[in-house]
Amino acid sequence: MAKQIRIENVFKVFGDQPKQALDLVRQGLSKQQILERTGQSIGVFDANFTIEAGEIFVVMGLSGSGKSTLVRMLNRLIEPTSGRIVVDGQDINELSDKDLRALRRKDISMVFQSFALMPHMTVQDNTAFGLEMAGVAPAARQQAAQEALEQVGLAGWGPSYPDELSGGMQQRVGLARALASDPSILLMDEAFSALDPIIRTEMQSELLRLQETKRRTIVFISHDLDEAMRIGDRIAIMKDGQVIQVGTPDDILRSPANDYVRSFIKGVDAAAVFKASDIARQALTIISEHNDRGCRAALRLIEDSDRDHAYVLNARQHLQGVVSAQSLRDALQGHKGALGLKHAFIEGVLPLDAATPVADLYGPMATAPCPLPVLGESRKFLGVISRTTMLRFLDRDTPPVPPPQPVQPPVTLNPLFSTGDADSPTMLQEHSDSAATPTQQGEKA
């Protein structure tokens, strides 16, 4: 359904001496120098990458870097000077005019930043406009237009006129018009750039939602890295017609190819891009097998490992609760026999979902009684975030993603391990934090 687009050695020179211009690029002259010397303008220089079927692929770069030229070559609104563009195995430069029209009508739709809605036509007719141009019969195109309007949240607005709609809604009509032909490829050239920030975020969510209902190959042009990071499965960064780097948002943040890319990501709102799981650190975890004991062993382990808290898990790594030296001492106060860890659980610990953006953690962290546990898929314990971790993350221009942390196998204590009060068995899993040296608890037995 969705289609793959392969871009192979694609060049575009505006002017009648493309060869001369390309030779000068190879000699290292800048785009500006070539323009001054020859009057030729380099649109795209040697683009090579593949856009996978069903992904949202964002093309970014400063104004004039060649984004629009590149995307317009994908449906041959602009003919490449050389190179191949291959859609699901078909080189589109080899298509006949008739097949090209069919491709544009059925498979590839385009949404622009500012496209004019016809003021004298209803929203419904505006949406059906492309289909009308393509010669689709009235009943079929009205049906398709209505469905497309529903998809973008404008059900019922069909009979209205454009001037009754807000700017954001008009942009939705533009999207509906592109969706009306049910294309497998959507080309979106700065489609949201003119919208105010709130509406823009709303449209981004809308696009992600649409993508969940039906996967299309979306080539999305933007000059806003926050937007790119939010919606892009992968991102290509262009400069002066050249594609400098292609990668996932993570790839690009972790290892920017050069200073140009670095200058882009400097302004990124890292707190919106990074998730709780990205900054979670490992913690002291205790796997508790018994409900009726463990407090004394846990207290001893916390004291020995010089930690404030321990996170109690069951054998399936699900969080049971959090204990601290203080909560354990309080629970044991005046208590003679064995005591279950649950009696020492700290109250008011709200676990964080791994996918929560760091920007949404300020509230929970401000009131947290301890570093908060982060839970991943099927609520598995992944690690913790402390206020210090969060502040350290925020106190940087471009926070690096912490490297993946080695998972250490649990250290199982001898079941007969005595803590003075025979309050075992408990297994200890030492997840070392970079700041602390792992302690060999087992040797202490």
Ligand X SMILES: Nc1ncnc2c1ncn2[C@@H]1O[C@H](COP(=O)(O)OP(=O)(O)O)[C@@H](O)[C@H]1O
Binding residues for ligand X (CB under 6 A)? 14, 41, 43, 61, 63-69
What would the DSSP string read from start to end of 213-242? Answer: HS--EEEEEES-HHHHHHH-SEEEEEETTE
Q: How far is the CB of 135 from Mg ion (least distance, A)?
A: 30
Among ligand X, Mg ion, none, residue 64 binds (CB under 5-8 Å by kind): ligand X
Residue 4, token pair as written in the block: 């793959």
Per partner kind, with CB cut-offs from 5 to 8 A, the member of Mg ion, ligand X, none near residue 14 is ligand X
Can residue 68 be called a binding residue for Mg ion (CB under 5 A)? yes
What distances in angstroms separate CA 149 from CA 75, 132, 155, 294, one per listed residue? 24, 16, 6, 60
Residue with Cβ nearer ligand X (62 or 346)? 62
Closer residue to ligand X, CB minimum distance, 13 or 323: 13
Locate all alpha helices (DSSP H) within 280-409, ordered by sequence.
295-304, 325-332, 362-367, 387-394
Q: Is 282 in the site for Mg ion (CB under 5 A)?
A: no
| Closer residue to Mg ion in complex, CB, 165/221 | 221
Position 41 contacts Mg ion (CB under 5 A): no
Interacting residues of 230 by C-beta distance below 8 A, sequence separation 6+: 204, 272, 273
- Among 66-74, 169-177, 349-357, 375-383, the segment contacting Mg ion (CB under 5 A): 66-74
**CA dihedral (36, 42, 46, 50) positive or negative:** positive
| Partner from ligand X, Mg ion, none contacting 66, C-beta within 5 to 8 A by type | ligand X
Chain centre distance of CA 80: 31
- In angstroms, what is the minimal distance from the CB of 62 to ligand X? 7
Q: Which helix (H) or strand (E) holds 253?
A: helix 249-254
Report which of 170, 430, 140 is spatially closest to residue 285, judged by C-alpha positions. Answer: 430
Nearest to 125 by CA among 108, 144, 110: 144
CA distance 359 to 369: 19
Tell me which amino acid residue 103 is.
L
Write down the least CB distance from residue 400 to ligand X, Å.
Answer: 29
In the complex with ligand X, the residue whose CB is nearer, 39 or 415, is 39
Smallest gap from residue 431 Cβ to ligand X (A)? 46
The count of residues interacting with Mg ion (CB under 5 A) is 1
Residue 222 binding Mg ion, by CB under 5 A: no
Choose among ligand X, Mg ion, none what residue 242 binds, the Cβ cut-off being 5 to 8 Å by kind.
none
Phi and psi torsions of 409, nearest 5° = -65, 145
Decide if residue 65 touches Mg ion (CB under 5 A). Answer: no
Nearer to ligand X, 63 or 96 (CB): 63
Nearer to Mg ion, 10 or 276 (CB): 10
Q: Which single residue is written with the structure tokens 């629009």?
A: 68
CB atoms closer than 10 angstroms to residue 395: 8
Least distance to ligand X from the beta carbon of 410, Å?
Answer: 53
Task: Compute the chain's Rg from CA coordinates.
Answer: 29
112 interacts with, out of ligand X, Mg ion, none, CB within 5 to 8 A per kind: none
Q: Which one, 57 or 157, has the nearer CB to ligand X?
A: 57
In the complex with ligand X, which residue's Cβ is closer, 70 or 341? Answer: 70
Smallest distance from the beta carbon of 131 to ligand X, in angstroms? 28
Could you list the residues that contact Mg ion (CB under 5 A)? 68
